[in-house]
A and B are shown apart, each in its own frame.
Chain A
């Protein structure tokens, strides 16, 4: 507006030249350094923008929330929750529902789990679409971008949480993430080796990205474990809670007992997971109806091998523990846990793949039946 009212060019040029008068980079940097020093000494009191907003418009927010719940709670929101890439409501899921849920997740460990959940969810969605034969290059590209975004979010949280030493919970979150991303890397590889159709050819970029992130996850877990063990040297191995630390400091023998008990508990939990996965795998492979696809067979074929890796690592953990090498025992235990979780995820997804294929087969049969009925009806009418 101001430019239209001022007709004279030289005045405009003058304004432009005035705007060119700036601080020198050196002056700018010097003032910024002084400001940041002040900021570091006087950190701002943090008030959640959400709290400010709610306090100003409490009634309006309450009414809006109720309206949103009424309008979307039973219909749009629940429909969007199950939406897949390419569906009309998928953007609502990605851009509205998940960020809204994320607002209520606080603390490094819950945030890491939430980012891991979203990362894995993106891969499950891609695998469901692949089973339904609905993947295409643009959908794969969108899945890849969303997957990388969540994976990067997870990596950043874990990296930030490790500043000053890693916690056992962060190590656990890293193990969980590593196991699931590894499992999905294997699953996507099996999907890619399925009977040639155009969608499996397009999967390579996503598969490469998942493999790359699986590699990163392994490195990150190793780093989190190393930092945790380094911290443990000062605080006492596996004495992650205050009460445990107090107990551990009482006597050396009670510390050893406690460490052994924690170790045994964890070993038992992993053994249970391995046994459970073996049992379910046996049931699945002995059932004819669930092994109808070569891709599913490819996914399930990986499970026994991964379970063997879990058992081997568990055996090594026991040996290390018996020989008194607690750190290496702990690392081997995590290797075993990661492999056991990976096998569990592969089995779950393999079974889900079978169900999707069964559903697709049933829908095709129903469609053929309807088409046949229509033809018979039309033929009968013609007679």
Chain B
């Protein structure tokens, strides 16, 4: 495959996935400008992997989300170093949470149903937030999410199941009244 073809494929991938990667970054950071920067950084790192390792990427979409997740964690930790106290006692799950949609520098513009769902996702246990978002909103399969967060498919399937139950309960649609949290 020549470099022109790789560039075309890269452009095609950008056309197909830039919105979903941007959205993921947007809801994790609550800042449009930061999200655009992180999305750009994600695609740059993706190209660097091709450049440095000549690596063949099996699932491009899952790989992009993996890179985006790491970019967000880096951004989050860089931001937190301004407040060392906040870093003390930080858990892995803490760096995976979705930010507030209404208290950021600029409020995220979205329709009522979208805001309702995002607020419910943000109210969920941090362990479930990301997997439910990736599965329910972006349509990624448990295996893909497992690759992104570095867990087994079974673990992710269980988290999705429990997370969705929790989401339904938080949204007021838990018919069983079974307490998950």
Contact = CB atoms under 8 A, between A and B. Distances in A.
A34 interface: yes
A35 B7 CA distance: 10
Nearest to B118: A18
Interface of B: 1-3, 6-7, 10-11, 14, 18-20, 22-23, 26-27, 36, 39-40, 43-44, 47-48, 50-52, 54, 56, 108, 110-111, 113-114, 116-118, 120, 135-139, 160-161, 164, 167-168, 171, 173
A212 to B, nearest CB: 28
Nearest to B142: A1
- The majority secondary structure among interface residues of chain B is helix
A18 B22 CA distance: 12
Contacts of A17: 110-111, 113-114, 117
Interface residues of A, number: 36
Nearest to B19: A22
A324 interface: no
A7 B176 CA distance: 13
Point out which of B54, B116, B117, B164 has the most chain A C-beta atoms below 10 A from its C-beta.
B117
Given A23-B22, A44-B47, A46-B3, A39 B113 contact: no
- The majority secondary structure among interface residues of chain A is helix
A49 B1 contact: yes
Contacts of B3: 43-44, 46
Given A31-B36, A45-B54, A47-B56, A18 B44 contact: no
A49 B47 CA distance: 16
Contact of A42 (B26, B47, B161): B47
A242 to B, nearest CB: 25
Contacts of A36: 7, 11
Interface in A4-44: 5-8, 10-11, 13-23, 27-28, 31-32, 34-36, 38-39, 42-44
Given A18-B137, A31-B18, A46 B164 contact: no
A88 B102 CA distance: 65
A232 B27 CA distance: 60
Nearest to B6: A44
B56 A49 contact: yes
Contacts of B56: 47, 49, 52
Interface of A: 2, 5-8, 10-11, 13-23, 27-28, 31-32, 34-36, 38-39, 42-49, 52
Point out which of A10, A15, A16 has the most chain B C-beta atoms below 10 A from its C-beta.
A15
B54 A15 contact: no
A8 to B, nearest CB: 4
Given A6-B136, A31-B36, A46-B2, A23 B19 contact: yes
B41 to A, nearest CB: 10
Contacts of A14: 113-114, 116-118
Contact of B7 (A22, A28, A39): A39
Contacts of A22: 19, 22-23
- Which 10 A/B pairs are nearest by Cβ-Cβ distance? A14-B117, A17-B114, A47-B54, A14-B113, A22-B19, A44-B50, A13-B113, A45-B54, A8-B173, A17-B111
A31 B173 CA distance: 41
A344 B27 CA distance: 70
A42 B49 CA distance: 11
Contacts of B19: 21-23, 28
